[in-house]
Every structure is written in C-alpha cells, then in structure tokens.
Chain A
Amino acid sequence: MKGIRFILAGIVFGIVMSKSEAVSWYRIQEMFRFQSFHMYGIIGTAVILGVLIVYLIKRFKVKDYSGQPIVFHNKEKSWPRYIIGGTIFGLGWALTGACPGPMFVNIGQGYLVMIIVVFGALIGTYFYGLIKNKLPH
C-alpha cells in the first residue's frame, strides 16, 4: 500500500507531539504566560532547521522521491485574513490547549472529550466556508 508512508510519518508526528508534551494544555498555558522556554525551544528549533532545509532544497534543486522538483507555493499576499484569522485561531488554541494536530493526537492518548473539540473545529471550518465571501481577506 502506497499510503503507508504517510501513516508512518503521522505516527512519528504523534509520538513527537506526545513526548515533547506539545499536546499538553498545561504546556500551552505555560507558553502563553512566558513561564518556560520549552515550547519556544521546540518551535524555534523546528523553524531554524526548517529554514536550512528549505534553503538546501532550493539551492541544490532537490527532487522528490518520484523525481519531480520540490516546489514551494507562496502564500497569497494580503494581511486581513492572516491577522484576523490568526487571532481567532489563537483564542481557541489557548482555550483548548490544542491546535489541529494535537487535537487528534490527544484523542489517541485517550482524551476522548477532544472529539467534541474536533467536532467544534469542523463546525468552525464549515462556517468559514459558508461566510467566506463576506469576510475581508
């Protein structure tokens, strides 16, 4: 099965999120209260290494597994959607202590109440699609 590599990548992601404690509601509170370096260390390390990886891919025109060039899509240039949407996201992130990935990892960890949070996120996504054209982007 060709898709198994994505399942395996997901498993590694789930374990990393768990063992780094990035799935913890407490850790997210600690981050937003600036009371530990932990979460900033995780995101900071990932971004610094990520910058290096993207630079090397572009510099050496690295191909993907099927021989196709790896392309990066630029995000659409504007500001309202990023500032307003981002702020709304942040409100929910601090309240539930979970961004979309960790919500699902938490369900795996046995926090079944997170299913309700995911359900809320699906309603939110649907509602965005519904009123998208009326929002400033």
Chain B
Amino acid sequence: MLEIIRQPWPWYVSGTLIALIMALLLFFGKSFGFSSNLRTICTACGAGKKVDFFDFDWKSQHWNLLFLVGSVMGGVISMLFLQTNEPLKLSAATIHDLKNLGIIFDGQINPKQVFSFDFLMSIKGITVLLGGGFLVGFGSRYAGGCTSGHAISGLSNFQTPSLLAVAGFFTGGLIMTHLLMPFIF
C-alpha cells in the first residue's frame, strides 16, 4: 500500500482530492483560499497600524493559518516518508526547452540551480526569488485570490471574476515563460 502511495499520483487522483479538500473546508464553514494567509500574516505582524487594508480581525482567519501550518507539515511528511528515488518524469520537450535557457534538468522537484543558496546569493538569484514572490503576493491580493481561491473555489461556483483572474494567471504565466524568461536566465 505504502509503495503505491509513494509513487507520483495520477492527475485524476490529485484533482479529486483537491476538490474534496474544498468540500471539507466548506463543511467546516470556511472557504478554500490560500493567499488570504499572506494578508493575515501582514496583519499579525502589525501592518494594520499603518495601512487600513490590514486593519481587520485577523483572529477570524486563525483556521487558515492552521491550514498553512498543516500544509508545511504535509510537505515534511512527503519528503520524509513518501518519496521514491525515481527522477521526476518531466516531458522531453520541457527538458530540451529548459536546457536552451541554461537550466539543466536534475530529476528533482525543483532545479537546484534556481533553488539553492548559491543562486540566492547572486544579484540575479535574489531578484528572481524575491521579485517572483513579490509578483505572486501583489498579484494575488490585487486579483483577490490565487489558484485555490479563483481557479478552484471561484470556477466551481461559476464566478465570472474568477474566470477573468484565471485568464490573467495564464496570460502572465505565458508572458513570463515565453517572452521574459529567455532574458532572465
């Protein structure tokens, strides 16, 4: 059994479980949306004293912070107990394209070339990691949600704004991947 769980899960299993997590949170009286946590953390750090946007009762979001803590723990559990030694089965076309960008596929979840302290210590590295994070944080709050809030919760409820947001996610992703990354890497 554990041997089966250790293998990468097929998309239909993963997609089904994500929908069930959304259902579970609804049953708990909450709504699935991860990026709200970023606002909550800002407020918990005292941002509400200076900026109105962060002046709200963040304790009401306590549950979501617990969900966040759980997700980190889920990552730890996967790393410790649910790994195989097999390399990620990335498509040959992607391996080829990344090679042209100078990023060599190493079979891990993330390229060591980008997610290492060596890269972080370079000007390019700190710009990519800090700047990329900035865009995600700024963009998700501006759009009022991220992949979980818009693509999963919002689309499931036929929200046109969420469809616009998801169209935006892909527009941005395609611009970065095809137009900007050749200049960045």
Residues of chain A touching chain B, judged by Cβ–Cβ distance below 8 Å, are 3-33, 35-51, 53-54, 57, 62, 64-66, 68, 70, 72-79, 81-101, 103-111, 113-114, 116-130, 132, 135
B residues in contact with A81, CB < 8 Å: 142-144
Residues of chain B touching chain A, judged by Cβ–Cβ distance below 8 Å, are 5, 8-31, 34-35, 37-39, 41-42, 47, 51-54, 62-64, 66-79, 82, 88, 90-91, 93-94, 97-98, 105, 109-111, 114-117, 119-120, 126, 128-148, 150-162, 164-178, 180-181, 184
Cα distance A114–B136 when bound, in Å? 13
The dominant DSSP class at the B interface is helix
Residue in contact with B47 in the complex, picked from A17, A94, A129, CB distance below 8 Å:
A129
Contact between B141 and A30, CB atoms less than 8 A apart: no
**Chain A nearest CB: distance from B129 CB in Å?**
5
Residue in contact with A120 in the complex, picked from B117, B137, B157, CB distance below 8 Å:
B137
Cα distance A101–B114 when bound, in Å? 19
The dominant DSSP class at the A interface is helix
Cα distance A50–B71 when bound, in Å? 20
Contact between A20 and B162, CB atoms less than 8 A apart: no
- Among all A-B residue pairs, the 3 with the closest Cβ atoms: A14-B74, A86-B168, A10-B70
Residue in contact with A89 in the complex, picked from B27, B77, B146, CB distance below 8 Å:
B146
A residues in contact with B52, CB < 8 Å: 129
Known A14-B75, A100-B37, A125-B137; contact A74-B47, beta-carbon cutoff 8 A:
no
Q: Which of A3, A65, A89 has the most CB of B within 10 A?
A: A89
Cα distance A19–B9 when bound, in Å? 6
Contact between A96 and B74, CB atoms less than 8 A apart: no
Contact between A127 and B157, CB atoms less than 8 A apart: no
A residues in contact with B175, CB < 8 Å: 87, 90-91
